[in-house]
């Protein structure tokens, strides 16, 4: 049994960290809200979106970058070689963040900062708790748990990034059939391919915002002077979906050889629906195997208790007790 002082110390230590974390989050949130309110007040004072407001926005963004720079500059030392701020021609490391939907500038610096800070946080909390609460210094169990916590904190951002990427790929895959249908309708209505893809991006803004954002970014690249083939290839790289890569290859080949875009989209749409149907059949075929282990572990023991329980009680009362 633990004494009252030990129980009190075990409660105070985690509560102290929780309170400190909440205090930091509250200060950051309050500063952000205060900063946004000041920006809105200055915009209203300067007359909305005139030149003064634009200059103020530039100055405020520059000052905010200066305030973030000490932390971002330190963490960006780990990602300087692989970092590329151009979203239209990203590097290999930047592609991972774009496929996860992280398009803000300091995403890579924050990622490496998390990989550096989380192991230190987990290991520090564990060591402090072992020293001040359990009064244990260095022992083999402490060393092994410290190493495991450090590895867990180091790989936790990568696990989170992979889960976020897989979830976004699934969302894009679900929205691709509707995008194909809309694109086919727009092309058959007489619109050009660029106008059709722009219209598809606008129509999908509410239902599939991630897919709409990708089409909008592709249209912005073409407006900025990038060739259509390069913009389409960047679209396939940012999404990371095999079906999108096949669609991009189809559109590039259609544009190159001058064939009908509508007929090519019809064939691709039919093949894509067939592939989706086959994937659904594959998932349905795997269901019996997936249900087998829960059936054995949870349902069969309950059935055995219900069926054999009364018989076992009767045998025990009539044979064993007599």
Q: How far apart are the first and last CA of the chain?
A: 44
pTM of the full structure:
0.65
Helices (H), 133-260: 140-188, 193-203, 209-223, 228-239, 242-257
Q: Is 196 left (phi over 0), alpha (psi -120 to 50) or beta?
A: alpha
**pLDDT-based confidence at residue 167 (cuts at 50, 70, 90):** very high
177-203 tens-digit pLDDT: 889 999 999 998 888 888 999 999 899
Distance CA 164, CA 106 (A): 17
Q: Give the model confidence (pLDDT) of 221-234 as tens digits.
A: 998 888 989 999 99
User: Could you tell me which of 140, 118, 142, 141 has the C-alpha nearest to residue 128?
Assistant: 142
Can you give the pLDDT at residue 52?
37
What pLDDT is attached to residue 53? 36
pLDDT for the residue 43: 67
What are the φ/ψ torsions at residue 46 (nearest 5 degrees)?
Answer: -90, 5
Question: What is the greatest pairwise CA distance in the chain?
Answer: 101
Q: Cα–Cα distance between 67 and 65 in angstroms, integer?
A: 5
């Amino acid at each position: 049994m633990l004494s009252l002082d030990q129980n009190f110390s075990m409660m105070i230590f985690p509560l102290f960290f929780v309170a400190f974390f909440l205090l930091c989050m509250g200060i950051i949130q309050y500063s952000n809200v205060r900063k946004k309110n000041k920006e809105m007040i200055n915009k209203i004072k300067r007359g909305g979106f005139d030149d003064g407001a634009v200059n103020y926005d530039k100055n405020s963004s520059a000052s905010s970058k200066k305030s973030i720079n000490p932390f971002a500059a330190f963490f960006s030392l780990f990602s300087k070689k692989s970092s590329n701020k151009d979203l239209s021609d990203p590097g290999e490391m930047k592609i991972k963040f774009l496929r996860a939907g992280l398009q803000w500038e300091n995403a890579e610096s924050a990622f490496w900062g998390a990989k550096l800070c989380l192991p230190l946080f987990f290991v520090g909390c564990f060591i402090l708790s072992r020293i001040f609460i359990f009064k244990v210094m260095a022992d083999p169990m402490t060393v092994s748990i410290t190493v495991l916590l450090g590895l867990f904190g180091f790989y936790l951002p990568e696990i989170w990034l992979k889960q976020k990427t897989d979830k976004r790929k699934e969302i894009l895959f679900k929205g691709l059939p509707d995008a194909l249908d809309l694109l086919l309708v727009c092309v058959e209505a007489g619109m050009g391919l660029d106008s059709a893809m722009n219209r598809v991006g606008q129509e999908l803004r509410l239902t599939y915002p991630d897919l709409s954002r990708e089409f909008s970014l592709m249209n912005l690249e073409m407006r900025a002077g990038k060739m259509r083939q390069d913009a389409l290839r960047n679209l396939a790289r940012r999404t990371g979906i095999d079906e999108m890569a096949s669609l991009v290859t189809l559109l590039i080949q259609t544009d190159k050889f001058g064939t009908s875009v509508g007929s090519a989209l019809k064939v691709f749409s039919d093949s894509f629906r067939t592939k989706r149907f086959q994937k659904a059949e594959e998932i349905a075929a795997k269901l019996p195997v997936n249900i087998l282990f829960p059936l054995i572990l949870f349902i069969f023991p309950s059935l055995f208790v219900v069926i054999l329980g009364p018989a076992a009680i009767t045998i025990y009362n009539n044979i064993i007790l007599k």
